Chains A and B, each alone.
Chain A
Amino acid sequence: MNTVPFESWDGAEAIFTFADKPGVVMLLLLGSVVVTFGTIVIAAMHEKHAYSNHK
């Protein structure tokens, strides 16, 4: 997988993986957003489950 966004260190600026592939950047960002907020949904479900186990 070629993740390098530049040809040479000379004059390179944004050097993070996939910096030259905005589609991949957006996909990774979207994945992070889903994980972050999805985890809160899971936390809510876990709590409801835990409380129902201790009536």
Chain B
Amino acid sequence: MEQQIAELTEKIAALEAAQGMSGTINSEIFYWWCTALMIAIHAGFLAYEMGASRVKNVLASGIKNILAFAFMVPTFYFFGWYIYLAFYNGFIPAEDGLAGLPWDASMGPNLADNATGIFWAAFTLFAATTASIFSGAVIERIQTAGFLILAILLGSVVWILGGAWGWHPAGWLTVKWGYHDVGAAGVVHMVAGFFALGVLINLGPRVGKFNADGSANAIKAHNIPFTITGLMLIIVGFFGFLGGCIIYMPGEQWINIYGQPATLSAFAFNTLMGMAGGIIGAWVKTRDPFWMMSGALIGIFCAASGLDVYYPPLAFLLGCFGGFVVPMVAVALEKMGIDDAVGAFPVHGIGGLIGVVACGIFASGYPNVIEGAPPVNFFGQVGGAIVMGLLGFIPGYVASLILKAMGLLRVPDHIQEMGLDIVKVPVEAYPENFIPGPVNTTDPVATPAE
């Protein structure tokens, strides 16, 4: 009898261990595929930017976007992950963040750690998303070196600092103010949008965008269908992005980034409803397919902060509101003399702002993070939105001002007129010249190895 009990106990222990490891591996698999899907965001932004560029700049725009992805990976390894783990109290690093330093035993293949690599990868793709958001705003006139410095600052420092403050169970914004932003409307979209705005002020418009009297000219995208397809790809990628915003707990209910119970079903309801609302709102306002697909993104961001708790028709209405209002912000921005080539600030900055504030109105009172911390509340959300806006805008403005003074920001006007591809890129986008328009017909004399 005793022997049978011992055998049974041994079998139960083995089963528990197997179930535990199965859960751990399922968690790894889940974030692996979220990361893969998020690469579609970058692919989408690539198509979007290249389509929105004129033929003479299409490859330079593509190169810039690809490089943003490439530089985000090592720099997020060098210091981005550490910033997330260490700076949740503000600007003073906490000791438990040391595990994020690149020489730590967890920052490479480690049989005792199935989590760090996969979470680092997902966060790296969030970083790449912020860089891509910024990248679109500055097409056709930013220097590559200046762009890379700014993209690294945004993707591997600034947004992740906002993430540590407001997208971390111990972040000071969440613990002290009750800030709630499960889908990263503030920490990703607002920060990136406001960062782009800060840069745009110093970068200036593309040559020919504005007339002497301040009126604006339309600089037409060379391939609207490509741009629209890119936007749809971004939406596909956002299902990976938002999947990466919820925490898989083997054997238990999912939790949100703040440690409160949530379901992936909630995310599915509200992401799709917000997206649909955004398309409809933008269609009603503009009838423009470019804005309809941007509206899909706006709708997701407008619902993002409360994806875990919203009643789906609320997400839909928030999306409709954002999709209708944000195109007007784009028009106002242009009237102010700011050339945001793809509407990055209105779509991400204002879309994210609506999302963060809406959560304070419609999800007020929901418990947030640890017991004793304030619940979700309007003032916490408004305060959090101000912090995210400033956290994006100030570094973007100051860093671009410094780069401008160093001559590393803006492509000279005569080069812009000539086109960046013929100057910097050793191949042609459309060598058979089947696209009507100002295609380069001379042999490229670009310096190779951009």
Binding site for B on A (CB under 8 A): 12-16, 19, 22, 25-26, 29, 32-33, 36, 40-41, 43-44, 46-47, 49-51, 53-55
Q: Which 6 pairs across A and B sit closest by C-beta, in order of nearness?
A: A16-B108, A44-B145, A14-B105, A13-B112, A43-B145, A16-B109
Asked whether B103 lies within 8 Å of A29 as measured between CB atoms, the reply is yes
How far is B87's CA from A6's CA once the two chains are assembled, in angstroms? 33
Asked whether B449 lies within 8 Å of A46 as measured between CB atoms, the reply is yes
> If the complex has contacts A44-B143, A44-B408, A54-B415, are A36 and B447 also in contact, measured as CB distance less than 8 A?
no
Q: Which residues of A contact B422 (CB under 8 A)?
A: 54
- Besides A46-B424, A54-B415, 5 new A-B residue pairs in contact (Cβ under 8 A), listed by A number: A14-B109, A15-B110, A36-B71, A43-B148, A53-B445
How far is B143's CA from A50's CA once the two chains are assembled, in angstroms? 11
Binding site for A on B (CB under 8 A): 71, 74-75, 78, 102-103, 105-106, 108-113, 143-146, 148-149, 408, 411-412, 414-415, 418, 422-424, 445-447, 449-450
> If the complex has contacts A26-B103, A36-B74, are A51 and B423 also in contact, measured as CB distance less than 8 A?
yes
Q: Which residues of B contact A46 (CB under 8 A)?
A: 424, 447, 449-450
> If the complex has contacts A22-B103, A53-B445, A54-B423, are A47 and B144 also in contact, measured as CB distance less than 8 A?
yes
Q: Which residues of B contact A29 (CB under 8 A)?
A: 78, 102-103
Asked whether A16 lies within 8 Å of B110 as measured between CB atoms, the reply is yes
- CB of A36, distance to nearest CB on chain B (Å): 5
Q: Which residues of B contact A43 (CB under 8 A)?
A: 144-145, 148, 450
Most B CB within 10 A of own CB, among A16, A32, A44: A44
Q: Which residues of B contact A25 (CB under 8 A)?
A: 103
Q: Which residues of A contact B149 (CB under 8 A)?
A: 40
Pick 22 A–B contacts, CB within 8 A, sort by A.
A14-B106, A14-B110, A14-B112, A15-B109, A16-B108, A25-B103, A32-B74, A36-B74, A36-B78, A40-B71, A40-B145, A40-B148, A40-B149, A44-B143, A44-B146, A46-B449, A47-B144, A49-B447, A50-B424, A50-B446, A53-B447, A54-B422
Q: Which residues of A contact B108 (CB under 8 A)?
A: 14, 16, 19
- CB of A46, distance to nearest CB on chain B (Å): 6
Q: Which residues of B contact A12 (CB under 8 A)?
A: 111
Q: Which residues of A contact B109 (CB under 8 A)?
A: 14-16
How far is B107's CA from A26's CA once the two chains are assembled, in angstroms? 13
Asked whether B111 lies within 8 Å of A13 as measured between CB atoms, the reply is yes
How far is B415's CA from A43's CA once the two chains are assembled, in angstroms? 16
Residue of A nearest to B71 (CB): A36
Q: Which residues of B contact A33 (CB under 8 A)?
A: 74, 78
Asked whether A36 lies within 8 Å of B111 as measured between CB atoms, the reply is no
Q: Which residues of B contact A51 (CB under 8 A)?
A: 411-412, 415, 423
How far is B78's CA from A36's CA once the two chains are assembled, in angstroms? 10
Residue in A13, A32, A55 whose CB lies within 8 Å of B105: A13
Residue of A nearest to B101 (CB): A29
Q: Which residues of B contact A19 (CB under 8 A)?
A: 105, 108
> If the complex has contacts A33-B78, A46-B447, A47-B424, are A54 and B418 also in contact, measured as CB distance less than 8 A?
yes
Residue of B nearest to A33 (CB): B78
Q: Which residues of A contact B418 (CB under 8 A)?
A: 54
How far is B449's CA from A26's CA once the two chains are assembled, in angstroms? 29
Asked whether B145 lies within 8 Å of A47 as measured between CB atoms, the reply is yes
Q: Which residues of A contact B75 (CB under 8 A)?
A: 36
Q: Which residues of B contact A53 (CB under 8 A)?
A: 423, 445, 447
Q: Which residues of B contact A44 (CB under 8 A)?
A: 143-146, 408
How far is B102's CA from A13's CA once the two chains are assembled, in angstroms? 16
How far is B74's CA from A23's CA once the two chains are assembled, in angstroms? 20
- CB of A48, distance to nearest CB on chain B (Å): 8
Q: Which residues of A contact B450 (CB under 8 A)?
A: 43, 46
Residue of A nearest to B106 (CB): A14
Q: Which residues of A contact B143 (CB under 8 A)?
A: 44, 47
How far is B423's CA from A55's CA once the two chains are assembled, in angstroms? 10
How far is B102's CA from A29's CA once the two chains are assembled, in angstroms? 8
